[in-house]
Amino acid sequence: MDEQSFEQLSKKERRARKKQQKQEAHAKRATQKKRRSALRWAIIVVVIAVIAWLINSAHSGGTSAAGPSAVTEKDWKKGQKSAPITLIEYGDFQCPACASYALLVQQLTQEYPNQLQVVYRHFPLTSIHQNAEPAARAAQAAGLQDKFWEMHDQLYEHQDDWSNLANPKDKFVEYAGLLGIDSRQFEKDFQNRAIRTAVRDQQLEAQRMNLAGTPSFLLNNALIAAPKGIQGFRTLINAELKKLGISPKEEIDGETQTNNEGHEQ
């Protein structure tokens, strides 16, 4: 409406017209505000999605987490090969939580002698445990003389004696002697490139699987949260046996709690 036409209106009509114009202007501003708000939220959502993708890519190397490699003759195993349940542990010999869990795993092998096979794989957290990788090599070297599990137990049982040493090699050689291992051959194997590679390969596998820390457990290849005590393990194992149509053991009364409920990261 032009100015001349507006002047020809009555006062009442002009007031109504001004009111209408104000309402239209208000509605226009409200629409623009909603559009700006919607745009801001859209940008925020996109930014959050991009950040989440970048974090996930950085954590997983741009790919989904891999599963564990198949259990082979090269693995350190305890229990029946034909057992229906396999518990794989990725551990660090310098990790206090792993030392606590070692006692629980040992108890499980006694309680499920025909139903459970335990596999130990190395995941030395070298960024925080300077002696974890040498300890893994010590266990590997002992394994070449059929004493892996004996050295495994020795390292965890006496963890405080070697964890903070500048060079734990002499202590490991001492353990080898106590276990009836040929010390000279042990020292050679301890420095062996093949043993270093074997430890490194398992460490890299754990990293590809995006394992959060140690100990990490897989029950029949499914990652599980580390149970807080022996009863938690029993419950998971019995449930898995039921899935397989196998009558589980009767659960034993009582529960042994670990001294350290957390993981090393």
- The SS3 assignment for 192 reads coil
149 vs 142: CA distance, rounded Å: 8
Per-residue tokens: 70: 């198949």
Tell me the Ramachandran region of residue 129: left when phi exceeds 0, alpha when psi lies from -120 to 50, beta otherwise: beta
* pLDDT at residue 1 greater than cutoff 60: no
Per-residue tokens: 187: 């020292």
136 vs 154: CA distance, rounded Å: 12
* pLDDT at residue 187 greater than cutoff 70: yes
Q: Taking the domain 76-243, which CATH number applies?
A: 3.40.30.10
C-alpha neighbours within 13 Å on the C-beta side of residue 125: 21
pLDDT in tens, 115-159: 999 999 999 999 999 999 999 999 999 999 999 999 999 999 999
Task: Kindly list the domain boundaries of the chain, sorted by start residue.
Answer: 3-60, 76-243
pLDDT-based confidence at residue 73 (cuts at 50, 70, 90): very high
pTM for the model: 0.73
95 vs 83: CA distance, rounded Å: 28
